[in-house]
Amino acid sequence: MIQKSHLLFVTVETPLHAGSGRGLGAVDLPIQRERTTGYPMVQASGLKGCLRAEARLKWGKDSADLFTLFGPEKDASEHAGALLVGDARLLLFPVRSLAGVFAYATSADALARFRRIAELAGVDITGLPSVQAPNNETALVNVKSPLKVDTDVVLEEFSFTASENEAVGKIGAWLAEKALPAEGYTYWKDALQNKLCILPEDALRDFTLYATEVQTHIKLNPETKTVEGTALFTSEHLPADTLLYAPLMATPSRKDKVDMSADQVLAKFAELNLTHVQLGGDETTGQGWVMLNVVKGR
């Protein structure tokens, strides 16, 4: 039984490829997406595997704490891990902007889904305002937002009528405080608050479908320096500054002869002090570095 919950924020710092295998569309290797919304995501198995790998590196492959939190190395029928990791869902998606360079795009739908998971994790959201979804031609922005061009917001090649709303700034400030570390991120906290843009649901979905980063990969023949065979392919990545979130939940230890409460499970996880980890594919080319920040729940 789940007895303790936290919320894990995942900020993408280098393009992230959490792949879903071979695609049937224009991109050979697409990223994982929710079936209903099309929003990008990182499935819980991949995120948990990343956290387990970091714990294994720091504690050792035979650590009792490793097996208690994440389950046994081989025979999963022995017992389940006491640390439960949820899917990492999309909250903010960076989109190129005519003014202000880029916007942190989200929607009332994405924010409402976030509130639901945050409440499930027991996070205090009393300072997080709710907003009504704008109409299809309007984007909600903070007061005096740097994204405005006269009366409009222009993202990629699409123009929206800018509607200034103080609640947008309050949402941005709340997220900046919770999602980013307390030290060393002053510029990014200000940027998140000032560049937050709440879009119509359809617009956010379209940007997340068609404004991701697509990288082209080839294999060269070392002698001729030309493409070898059919080694040309493309892969899709979440752009840097995407913000995801996932619930972290805990039960008491399920391992025989290990007495560890749910509080102790999360405290033991906190001892790992994971701030930056590599998630997804293309590790050897510097892809998939993300920043983690845990917000304590109930």
- Helix %, strand %, coil % of the chain (to 5): 30, 30, 45
Token pair recorded at residue 132: 């009504």
Whole-prediction pTM = 0.93
Which residues are registered as beta bridge partners of 289? 278
Cα separation, 16 vs 50, in Å, equals 13
Rounded distance between C-alpha atoms, residue 53 and residue 158, angstroms = 42
Q: Find the range with the poorest average confidence among 54-68, 133-147, 250-264.
A: 250-264
Higher-pLDDT residue of 260, 227: 260
Q: Is the pLDDT of residue 288 over 70?
A: yes
Kind and range of the H or E run holding 243? strand 243-250
pLDDT band, very low/low/confident/very high, at 23 (cuts 50, 70, 90) = low
For residues 124-137, average pLDDT: 93
pLDDT above 70 for 90: yes
Task: Identify whether the C-beta of residue 128 lies closer than 8 Å to the C-beta of residue 256.
Answer: no
Per-residue confidence (pLDDT) for residue 147, from 0 to 100: 97
For residue 24, the model assigns a pLDDT of 61
Residue 4 in this model has a pLDDT that exceeds 80: yes
pLDDT greater than 80 at residue 21: no
Residue with tokens 């697509």: 214
Do 192 and 169 contact (CB within 8 A), yes or no? no
Residue for token pair 């752009």:
239
Tokens representing residue 135 in the block: 């109409």
Residue 253, classified by CB atoms within 10 Å of its CB into exposed (0-12), middle (13-18) or buried (19+), is: buried
Taking only the tens place, the pLDDT of each residue in 179-219 is 999 888 999 999 999 999 999 999 999 999 999 999 988 87
pLDDT at 289 over 70: yes
Cα(252)–Cα(246) distance, rounded to whole angstroms?
A: 20
Of 166, 240, 236, 153, the C-alpha closest to 200 is 153
Across the range 33-50, mean pLDDT stands at 95
226 compared with 207, residue with greater pLDDT: 207
Per-residue burial over 144-171, b = 16 or more CB atoms within 10 Å of its CB, e = otherwise: ebebbeeebbbbeeeebebbebeebbbb
- The model's pLDDT over 98-121, given as tens digits with 9 standing for 90+, comes to 999 999 999 999 999 999 999 999
